[in-house]
Structure 1
């Protein structure tokens, strides 16, 4: 199966990583000479198209005048993901419980790449998939951060804990300040959906939960913002200087 992904950063990353590209569509009058030159150097099939026609094909106006037809993004099983973690490295995984907004997933993948996380775990059902919007927002991290898709998040937490992982959820209720947690252990960080947080059964299988202190009138943060703060606390505690 193939799909169209769009955006200049996405296409640049595809070219950088020598990904197989079946076709490139550019809007008529695209003025990015360097990008056009790079495409021609790869001897790729380039098709020019009116902007409005591209909008209809891609179902968005935010494609920056360029799109590429590629294979669907690869996902992994839990076992395959674990096998890719370098020997001797303290594992760090992120589990997203029913995250539905592709912009949030793209932003989280981008931060995961920045801090060197080993991968992201999504549920097969009722969760955002690796789609063109995720690719564009991630600015290439969709290709560098491995994503495992599993049938049951709660059972996956049980399996990870059997392998020595600590499961830490992000939740306001019955939780400790995130700065008091020990993130230097093998870790799976669980972040909930935008509107409902972590589901009860998933939370039940967490060893404990952490919260971000807030002193304003707003009682919650965007999922990708909250996740980003926690990811950098893990990065800070593991001392990557």
Structure 2
């Protein structure tokens, strides 16, 4: 049987036809940069010292959390189980509710241990969170390496800067999964990671898309640029709207940050271009998850 011919690795930046356009874009960004907060993106600098051994690619170690996470509430637990979230135990007070019975059935099919428990014990396990009589214990998340996200000839990667709320991270992951991103990269320090809150707001899509940790986000963005990716950051002071970002059709990294603070200075300076979402209404900024969803929709339209 003949061997299938692969598409090969992502070409380096200097070998791409738009390499000259990147230089022009950076010049435009330099003239347009105003220092205003991002439009739903941005955040503090994630530029802590990098203690990687010499010669190791920029990025992160593969990490696992030490404490299992809990997804609580009937709908979130059922959604997580439907999506294949890696559960290790299902805690249940009673099986009178239809959604609880569905959760028990899915858990049984997947051989997840079922543990009957009382309200006081469940309150203690969930630290007083609203659990509705059910909780799913989730395996500590195993992060990918940032280089693992460079899939195919035109990867689409979402990087987050300054996102500290796991719910916002989960919402961004959900949008990234919906619009065909190859993965999401987050800073290793001073940022939200994949917790139960992220699993919950991602509606289970964390089971379908890899999340990587970078020890230093700005250095990782530079590594993506060297690998041939064009890097654009969402910023209220951007000189180009997302809808006009023609370069999004190739290997591309979208940098999204926190509401209010904007992209960190070094991260913004690393981007090839700053782009904006025009808002004719009265809102000054958008939630990070909403901004990421809008931008990724436009990017997916351009890539189509």
TM tier relative to shorter chain: 0.7 to 0.9
Give the SS at the match of 2:173: helix
1:125 is aligned to 189
8 Å Cα contact 1:5/1:132 also seen in 2? yes
Instruction: Give the equivalent residue in structure 2 for 1:63.
Output: 131
Are residues 165 and 64 of structure 1, via their aligned partners in 2, closer, same or farther at CA, if it must alter by over 3 Å?
Answer: farther
Residue 50 of structure 1: which of 104, 115, 118 is its match?
A: 118
Helix, strand or coil for the counterpart of 2:296? helix
Bigger relative contact order (CA 8 A; separation at least 6): 2
Query: Tell me, which stretches of 5 or more residues in structure 1 are unaligned?
Result: none
- TM-score, length basis structure 1: 0.88
> Secondary structure of 2:213's partner?
strand
With normalisation by structure 2, the TM-score equals 0.71
More strand by share: 1
Q: Which residue of 1 aligns with 2:144?
A: 76
2:206 is aligned, of 111, 135, 142, to 142
Give the direction of change, closer, same or farther, for the CA distance of 1:52–1:222 in structure 2 (3 Å limit). farther
The structure whose Rg is larger is 2
Aligned residue for 1:209, secondary structure, equals strand
1:215 corresponds to which residue? 280
CA-atom RMSD in angstroms: 2.1
Which residues of structure 2 form unaligned runs of 5+?
Answer: 1-65
- Alpha-carbon distance change, 42 to 148 in structure 1, aligned in 2, over 3 angstroms: closer
Structure 1 residues 41, 181: closer, same or farther in 2, change over 3 A?
closer
How many pairs align?
234
User: More deviation in 179-188 or 161-170?
Assistant: 179-188
The offset of 1:132, in angstroms, is: 0.4
Structure 1 residue 186: deviation in Å? 0.8
Give the Cα–Cα distance (whole angstroms) in 1 for the partners of residues 83 and 295 of structure 2.
30
